[in-house]
Every structure is written in C-alpha cells, then in structure tokens.
Amino acid sequence: MSRARTGKPTKVLVYRHAGVTRTTHWINVLALSFLLLSGLQIFNAHPALYWGAKSVFAHPWLAMDPAERAGQPVGVTIIFGHQFTTTGLFGWSGKGQGEPRGFPAWATVPTYRDLADGRRWHFFFAWLFVINGFVYLAMSLITRHIQRDLWPKGWQLKPAHVWHEVVTHAQLKFPKGEEARTYNILQKGAYLGVILVLLPLMLGTGLTMSPGFDSAAPWLLDLFGGRQSARSIHFISAWLIVSFVIVHLVMVVASGTWNNIRSMVTGRYAIEVDTAAPAAPANDAAGEVA
Amino acid sequence: MSHETNRRGWLTAAGASVAGLWLAACDKITENPRSAAVLKSAEGLTRRAQRLVVDRKALAPEFPATAISPDFKPNGSTNPDDPDYVAQRDKGFADWRLVVDGLVERPLSLSLADLRKLPARTQITRHDCVEGWSSIGKWTGARLGPLLDQAGLKPTARYIVFHCADMLEETLDGTGQYYESLDLIDAYHPQTLLAYDMNDRPLPVPHGAPLRLRAERQLGYKQAKYVMRLEAVADFAHISRGNGGFWEDRGYEWYAGI
C-alpha cells in the first residue's frame, strides 16, 4: 500500500459477484417477473384454491369472486371462510363498470383476460427460469460459491449472534469494513432459503400440476398432498418470493442503492476500510464474496 | 414538505406510467405474430421433454371410490342443440352409431351395444381443467387401442381426430364445431377410453353422452365429449382451422400434458 496511513476510512472496491452470479441474477429477475404476472393471469381463469387432490367447489380456502350488493357489482375475497370486500382489487376490477376477475389488469400479462396467452408466457419463462437455475446451481457448486460464501459458518448460527444480527438489521445498521466482505447470517439464510427451498418448490409444485408429469412421477402428488394442494403451495410460494424481493429491495436501498446495483452489474462492491489496517485491493480480493 | 410531496407524487406517477407502458408492451408482444411464435416455441420443448421423461405406457394416477367428486364440473357444452343430436338424445341413443373412418382398412359403424362388447376398462381418475381445477370421476369405456386395431390403421395414419356433435362457438364457416385429436402414443395408451359410463351409470348429457374420450395424461379440453366420429389422418392441417382441436384453434397447446 503506497497510500498514507491517515486512519480515515477509505473506499475500496472489492470483487463481489462472479459473472455467472450476475448474469443468472438478472435473467432470474426477468423470468420471475413474467412468471408472476402470467401466473396471476392463469390463476384468474379459476380464482379459487383448494387442498387435496380435487377441487371441492363449495369449500375453497381462498377465492376471489364477483358478487352483487345493492345492485352494484362488488369483488369479494374469501380467505379461510372470512369475507372481505375487495372491489377494484380482487374479484371485480377494471375501467368503467369493471369486470369479474381475480387479480386486476395491471397485475397480469397480458392485461386482458386470456388464459391461452398467459400459459404461453408462463411456460416460456418457466423454461428460461429452470435452465438459468440449473446453470447457477451447477456453476455455484463447481466454483464452491455456495459452500464458501452462502453456507453458514458454525459461529454464525449461535443464537446470540443471530439475535444480534436481527437487532442491527432492524435498526438498518449494516456491517462496515472487513465485516462487509462476507454475507451475514440473515443474508445467508434468506438467499439459501430462496435458492434451495422456494425456487425448487415452485418447480416441484408446478410439475405436480402437469397431468403428463404426474404419470411419470406420482410421488410428487404424495409429497405435496395432491394436485390442488400443489396449486395452493405454488401460489403461496410465489407470494413468499415476492415478499423476499420486497425485503431484498428495501435492504438494497437502505445499504446503498448504487453500490449494490453496481456490484450486481460490474461485480465491484465498495467497502470502507480503515487505512490503518490496509485491505487487499480489488484484484487480490477477487473470489472473496464472488 | 410540499416539495417532498410533489416529488413523491411525481415519482409515483412516473413509476405508474413506466409500469403501464411496460404492460402495454407485453400486450403488443402477445399480439405480434413473430414474438408470439417465440413464446409458442416453449410448447415443442415441453412436449419433447415430457415424451422423453414420461414412459409411453406410464399410467395416470388412479383413485379409490371414496375420492370420487360429487360435484364433478361439466364444462364447455353441456346440452348440445344440434337437431340430429337432440333427436338421438330423445331416443336414448338407440339408433346412434359411432363412425370410424379415414385412413383405416375397415371403416366401422358401431352402436353403443357394439362398443360395450369391446375390450373395456374402468378407472377412477382425476380430470384437470386447463383453468386450474380438478374433479375425480369413475369412467368405464372401450379401450381405444383395440378398437383402432379392429378398424386396422393404414401405415400413413398418424393421428386420430375426434369429431363431436357440439357447436361450442357460433361461426359462419363451421369452425365452432368441437373436435380434438391425439397422436398414436396417446391413442394406444392403456387408459385411453371411449367412455360410455360415468360413476357406474350411463354417461349423462352434461358430461358428453353417449360417448366421450378419456385421455388421462392430458388436460380437460382433450377429453372430447359427444364423440360422433373417429377419423384416422396423416395430419390435421386440413381440419377446421388446422391446429388439431377446438381450443388449439384458439391458442391453446395441442400437447396438453401440462
């Protein structure tokens, strides 16, 4: 280090994300966005969910229905037997008089009701999502990205440490300096949960809804409790992924929007280091959190 | 404060218009034939992938009698108004005949009594509508494979087309008539039936009396009701709008395994 030791924090760019991680991340953003919007279009064809193998039409656990109240059309959402009026959002929405539909036009692709087109979008991006996911998993296992950067270290799992991280995150205080080089336990938990649980669950429950695939892998039906249960779990997991994305975006903004976006585009992430304790420059740090 | 409110209002408006433009763009992509073809390309991939991983004889799951749906939903046509069909229905399908023709060595004309003498199968299976719901029913019917062998398929036959009595959409050119088609893999699948009984009783009119197709590894729209004629063909490009089925002509996948 030729820089003078002032003791003041200095910004250093570390190489945080490998090319595969960055590429598959953005392809995933594209695929999951269209999967969600086209998935809501498909849901709208029969906006009700059931548990078990078959639909017991009188007892959905979730339904978004049109109804009439005082001569006016309204949207009614039923969750576990509780009714909510959701006109304009669920059950009845649209310009002018509106129309019966589960989710509103702005939440579906295409905006108008068309199951056939919704399915086209959904299966096209499902293939992109699956291929992209396998490339990410294979490469991340080969380069040991998952084992090295995402798998929690023993000391990170101690309850006191986890609680400390929860408290500091809730205060929106994020690790600085050397600590910011590696993922903390909450990041690891969230990323692993999405990568190894939620996303595979979407694929598994999606395939379980296929009558063709069911004949090859009937065990999927036992695993998820039947086709209608699989459809319900598919729906719930989709919203869990949406909640992950919301928290993820809040954290990106709270911990430095442009720094985070740059690191997912160019791979370089700025951390502040105390020059009294020199940090390795960017190229030496390659692979640290890549 | 008001500056902040303005800024926030402006940002919200900008965000909403970007989202609006984005969704409008998606509609345009959906309607553009070239981009629609790209989206459609996934169907071929799905069909090939499923044919690769699913054994051609793999059976659709079957269920115990206790699983039968008391509320099995009839969809599409539920009471065809075609005059010939109505006349047959009123006579209890006594003189009704199933015609088997096209690329066959021995064209057939079979009564319901003839069909009941053919090798039969009973199965309790799940009916999966493309809309997302499922109902479970018990079906008894003539296995399609032995019936086709009786007619003797010519070597050029590649698909079986199911012509139905119901007009599901009023069109000037007759393309609103319901029809479906299967390739020979699914036509000869052991669970592929021409069902004449549902839940131990003659098939009711809302569910396709007197005869409906059961092709259990595909979605509900493949399970043609009111089947009047089977036609063995080399391809189905000349039939109706050329996509192999009523819903296929309206944008749905010909291979309905997912």
Mutate to test the interface with A, among B43, B130, B258 (most CBs of A within 10 A): B258
What is the CA A31 to chain-centroid distance, rounded? 11
Closest Cα to residue B146, out of B212, B181, B100, B113?
A: B100
Backbone angles phi, psi at A143, to 5 degrees: -80, 0
CB atoms within 10 A of CB B140: 20
Same domain, B220 and B150: yes
Domain total in chain B: 2
Alpha-carbon Rg for chain B in angstroms: 22
Chain A residue with CA closest to B17: the answer is: A106
> Phi-psi region for residue A137, left (φ > 0), alpha (ψ -120 to 50) or beta?
alpha
Q: Does B216 touch chain A (CB under 8 A)?
A: yes
Same domain, B78 and B170: yes
**Angstroms from A58 CA to nearest CA on chain B:** 9
Q: B39, A120: Cβ pair inside 8 Å?
A: yes
Same domain, B25 and B73: no
Tell me, yes or no, whether B46 lies in a domain.
no
Same domain, B66 and B27: no
Tell me, yes or no, whether A133 lies in a domain.
no
Residues of A with CB under 8 A from a CB of B: 37, 42-43, 45-46, 48, 50, 53-58, 105-106, 109-112, 114-117, 119-121, 123-124, 126-127, 209-216, 218, 221, 227-228, 231
Same domain, A94 and A218: no
Write the CB contacts of B177 (distance below 8 Å, at least 6 apart in sequence).
B163, B164, B166, B167, B168, B240, B246
Same domain, B212 and B111: yes
For residue B242, CA distances in Å to A236, B186, B237 come to: 39, 20, 4
Residues of chain B contacting A114 with CB distance shorter than 8 Å: 30, 251
Structure letter (DSSP) for residue B227: E
- pLDDT (0 to 100) of residue A234: 98
Tell me, yes or no, whether A29 lies in a domain.
no
Write the CB contacts of A83 (distance below 8 Å, at least 6 apart in sequence).
A76, A77
Residues B55-77 pLDDT 10s: 999 999 999 999 999 999 999 99
Query: Residues, chain B, total?
Result: 258
What CA–CA distance (Å, rounded) separates A103 from A40?
7
Q: Does B131 touch chain A (CB under 8 A)?
A: yes
Considering Cα of B157, then B161, then B162, then B166, what sign does the dihedral take? negative
Its domain, for residue B19, covers: 2-31
Same domain, A14 and A60: no
Chain B residue with CA closest to A42: the answer is: B131
Residues A41-78 pLDDT 10s: 999 999 999 999 999 999 999 999 999 999 999 999 99
Q: A126, B135: Cβ pair inside 8 Å?
A: no
**Angstroms from B221 CA to nearest CA on chain A:** 12
**Angstroms from A109 CA to nearest CA on chain B:** 7
Same domain, A264 and A159: yes
Chain A residue with CA closest to B59: the answer is: A215
Same domain, B159 and B120: yes
Tell me, yes or no, whether A33 lies in a domain.
no
Tell me, yes or no, whether A230 lies in a domain.
yes
Same domain, A60 and A175: no
Same domain, B108 and B64: yes
Q: Does B60 touch chain A (CB under 8 A)?
A: yes
Q: A227, B59: Cβ pair inside 8 Å?
A: no
- DSSP helix/strand/coil, A171: coil
Q: What are the helix (H) ranges across B32-60?
A: 33-53
Q: Does B69 touch chain A (CB under 8 A)?
A: yes
What CA–CA distance (Å, rounded) separates B223 from B213?
5
Same domain, B12 and B72: no
Same domain, B81 and B173: yes
- pLDDT (0 to 100) of residue A216: 96
**Angstroms from A117 CA to nearest CA on chain B:** 7
CB B71 within 8 A of CB B198: no
Q: B134, A43: Cβ pair inside 8 Å?
A: no
- pLDDT (0 to 100) of residue A7: 61
Same domain, A152 and A254: yes
Tell me, yes or no, whether A271 lies in a domain.
yes
Write the CB contacts of B185 (distance below 8 Å, at least 6 apart in sequence).
B51, B56
Tell me, yes or no, whether A261 lies in a domain.
yes
Domain total in chain A: 2
Chain A residue with CA closest to B45: the answer is: A127
Q: What is the pLDDT along chain A (290 residues), one digit of tens a residue?
A: 444 455 677 889 999 999 999 999 999 999 999 999 999 999 999 999 999 999 999 999 999 999 999 999 999 999 999 999 999 999 999 988 899 999 999 999 999 999 999 999 999 999 999 999 999 999 999 999 999 999 999 999 999 999 999 999 988 888 888 888 899 999 999 999 999 999 999 999 999 999 999 999 999 999 999 999 999 999 999 999 999 999 999 999 999 999 999 999 999 999 988 765 554 444 444 444 43
Mutate to test the interface with A, among B127, B131, B249, B255 (most CBs of A within 10 A): B131
CB A183 within 8 A of CB A149: yes
Q: What is the pLDDT along chain B (258 residues), one digit of tens a residue?
A: 456 667 777 878 887 888 888 888 889 988 888 988 999 999 999 999 999 999 999 999 999 999 999 999 999 999 999 999 999 999 999 999 999 999 999 999 999 999 999 999 999 999 999 999 999 999 999 999 999 999 999 999 999 999 999 999 988 888 999 999 999 999 999 999 999 999 999 999 999 999 999 999 999 999 999 999 999 999 999 999 999 999 999 999 999 999
